[in-house]
Amino acid sequence: MFGPKRIDRQDGAINDERGDGMGKSTQQAIRLGADIGGTFTDIVLDLNGTLFSTKVLTNYTAPEQAILDGIETVCGEAGIDPSALELVIHGTTLATNALIERRGAKTAFITTEGFRDVIEMRTESRFDQYDLNLKLPTPLVPREDRFPVAGRIGAEGQELLPLDEAALEALADRIAAGGYGAVAIGFLHSYMNPAHERRAREILSRKVSLPISISSDVSPQMREYERFNTVCANAYVRPQMEDSLARLQIRLAEMGATCPVFMIHSGGGLISLETAAEFPVRLVESGPAGGAIFAADVAKRFNLDKVVSYDMGGTTAKICLIEGFAPKTARSFEVARTTRFAKGSGMPISIPVIEMIEIGAGGGSLAWVDAMGRIQTGPESAASEPGPACYQRGGERPAITDADLVLGKLDPDNFAGGAIRLSVANSEQAIQTEVAGKLGLDSLAAGFGICEVVDENMANAARVHAVENGKTIGDNVMIAFGGAAPLHAARLCEKLGIDRCLIPQGAGVGSAIGFLRAPFGYEALASKVIRLSGFDANAFNTLIAELTETAMGFVKSGSAGEIRREVTAFMRYSGQGWEIPVPLPDRPFTAADADVLRGMFQSAYAEFFGRAIDGLGGLEVEIVTLSVKAEDIRPAPARVAMIDTGAAMAAPTTRAVFDPAQGAMLPSAIIERSAIEPGQRVEGPAVIVERETSTVVTTPFDAVMQPDGTLMLIRKEQVQ
């Protein structure tokens, strides 16, 4: 366990007027964020604006135990009893890991007759059309567990064929005796008319005591493959998540913490435990979403409208573009991709999500040599059990942390404030056995090779993400956080041509801090094809009102404050296969707004693709999906004036650290972060150390302490 750390409130970042879910001022609230990661569980306690944090190795057998251990640590440091907690906000990778590692429940999938194989046939798209040995994820539900039932809803929502209720009665008996842990129901066009799915759930629930997920509740959007896969994923992880969340609530109560517990969902808002247990697929990207919110908050403080967030933990690295102080969002994403960076090679999940690119590149990611003699890293991770070789917990294969240690980036006697003693000998032996010996290198050269490969993989991920969004990565300021990101951020900036990088206070537990700054929010979606040539304003307003009621209902269950509504239409030219988001004004619409909507779409289309399509016989424009996002309003954080330079700080001690630019071990300043005053400058090469991470300042960079305690890495030639 990492020892507790106190983060004094220098920046006013935790300055919400309210937002604890109970209508109280957070100036008086005692809140806790808990982020279960693949390697570490991060705990942050906000005691009236002062943060106390710790990191605990994740317990895979009982994930809630790490949270309880962390709570005891930070509460002890803060001098309070767990019973004083007024709110716990939790995020987890458990749902993600269950999907990737196939550790979910045996699931029965009931679908429309003739569509049994949709989740296996996928779509006609091939992410690599010339690869005859294309490898795709295996469906979560095997064919023998997929059951077709007669009955058909049409594309307009009309019943074309009655539901075969007798077949469902017989199927219920078969499922009850089949050893299943969950049931998913996905019928054709249920997003237009959910009557058949709801009736099927009613019939099954009379005989089957299992959680039943229906696609019209989980993901009421068109495109049956994505919708069916999403409801299967929800059912697949639901028993495990229900059990885990129930255990957490019970264990918290046993230690005296009887406060409300909320979850952060993939879209970056907070939802109740009950909602999370029913729709656990919404938690698949909950931890990374907290990190994106953390980075967006930092961007607001420094008034930076073009930011790339870089979150590297123990298992994965995440890259997210943040523009206009808000992370980019999407309606769907993929998990368990079989080919890195290749869209279409994973399992699609159709839920609102903060859009980011994620790769298996964390401190615990294992290094190996492939058949062509190339160093590779990840996606397999040493995680917390057994951990990297240097942890001395039984790991024998080299991880990124082992390479960092051999290169001098980490102090073996002061890792995690001395809570974990690292073995250089173990790291060198693991690297020699698995990498260096196979390539005829010494352990130092092999360690450099391992770090270069993982840094280049992350740089490629950032380039791909930027290009896919029509952006130039070098135009951004980087915000780096997570336990491993500050170790690699400067080198990553070198590769990407980025001149400035911010390392905020609490960077090692950034996602958990992000939980504390997340709004109560929910996004409701519905697919309904609406052609502007036949625009019905009354029906349009009614649909928006229904979605608003759904979204507002979720938000009001946890917030008593003022709520903001955002309405988005996903539109296309008729005949196109995909849509673009078009933000709509928050007001009632009239028949005359058909032309307004067309103009808004064409402007958005031109922004996306360079020009709108005009002069082709007046192409029809249609709305395919409507989204209403509701969230409670939070005041903006206090602004911070960025400092570009300052007086150079003398180094109290030095140690040899490998510098990539020079390709050699160089004497580098070793400075405690807490010893640097605002406006002081640390010249690279240097390592700035704190309990939960270390910031490596490579030769091309200096580090300047900002007024709020944030470190800024800045290229030497840009220092004023």
Beta strands 50-57; 5-7: pairing state: antiparallel
Alpha-carbon span 488 to 498, nearest angstrom: 13
Calculate what percentage of the chain has a pLDDT beyond 90: 57
Write the class of the CATH domain 105-235.
Answer: alpha beta
Alpha-carbon span 27 to 495, nearest angstrom: 42
Interval 277-294 mean pLDDT: 90
Task: Give the pLDDT score at 26.
Answer: 36
Closest alpha carbon to 521 in 282, 277, 270, 265: 270
Judge whether 215 and 197 are in contact, CB under 8 Å: yes
Encode pLDDT of 419-469 as tens digits. 778 999 999 999 999 999 999 999 999 999 999 999 999 999 899 888 887
Q: What are phi and psi of 567, to 5 degrees?
A: -110, 130
Whether 657 has a pLDDT exceeding 90, the answer reads yes
Task: Give the pLDDT score at 197.
Answer: 96
Write the class of the CATH domain 288-361+453-517.
Answer: alpha beta
Interval 488-496 mean pLDDT: 95
Whether 616 has a pLDDT exceeding 70, the answer reads no
More confident residue, 550 or 20: 550
Same topology for domains 105-235 and 288-361+453-517, yes or no?
A: no
Separation in Å, CA 590 to CA 346, 539, 597, 598: 41, 10, 11, 14
Write the class of the CATH domain 5-99+242-283.
Answer: alpha beta
More confident residue, 649 or 185: 185
Calculate what percentage of the chain has a pLDDT beyond 70: 95
Whether 28 has a pLDDT exceeding 80, the answer reads no
Interval 653-672 mean pLDDT: 91
Interval 364-380 mean pLDDT: 89
Encode pLDDT of 297-329 as tens digits. 999 999 999 999 999 988 888 899 998 888 888
Whether 11 has a pLDDT exceeding 50, the answer reads no
More confident residue, 97 or 582: 582
Interval 105-112 mean pLDDT: 96
Whether 15 has a pLDDT exceeding 50, the answer reads no
Characterize 265-287 residue by residue with b for buried, 16 or more Cβ atoms within 10 angstroms of its Cβ, and e for exposed.
Answer: bbbbbbbbbebbbbbbbbbbbbb
Task: Give the pLDDT score at 199.
Answer: 97
Task: Give the pLDDT score at 685.
Answer: 93
Interval 256-274 mean pLDDT: 89
- Beta-carbon count within 10 A of 371 CB: 5
Task: Give the pLDDT score at 555.
Answer: 83
- In terms of average pLDDT, the best of 130-139, 384-393, 449-458 is 449-458
Task: Give the pLDDT score at 25.
Answer: 37
Within 8 A by CB and 6+ apart from 246, the residues are 277
Characterize 682-698 residue by residue with b for buried, 16 or more Cβ atoms within 10 angstroms of its Cβ, and e for exposed.
Answer: bbbbbbbbbbbbbbbbb
Write the class of the CATH domain 521-632.
Answer: alpha beta
Task: Give the pLDDT score at 324.
Answer: 86
- Beta-carbon count within 10 A of 258 CB: 13
Task: Give the pLDDT score at 252.
Answer: 94
Whether 670 has a pLDDT exceeding 60, the answer reads yes
Confidence tier at 494 by pLDDT (50, 70, 90): very high
Whether 505 has a pLDDT exceeding 60, the answer reads yes
The two most distant CA atoms of the chain are separated, in Å, by 81
Encode pLDDT of 202-229 as tens digits. 999 999 999 999 999 999 988 899 999 9
Interval 500-523 mean pLDDT: 90
Whether 350 has a pLDDT exceeding 80, the answer reads yes
Alpha-carbon span 504 to 9, nearest angstrom: 12
What are the structural domain ranges in the chain?
5-99+242-283, 105-235, 288-361+453-517, 365-452, 521-632, 653-701+712-718
Give the CA-trace dihedral at 693, 694, 700, 702, to 10 degrees. Answer: 100
Encode pLDDT of 526-550 as tens digits. 898 999 999 999 999 999 999 999 9
The per-residue pLDDT of the chain, averaged, comes to 88
Task: Give the pLDDT score at 532.
Answer: 93
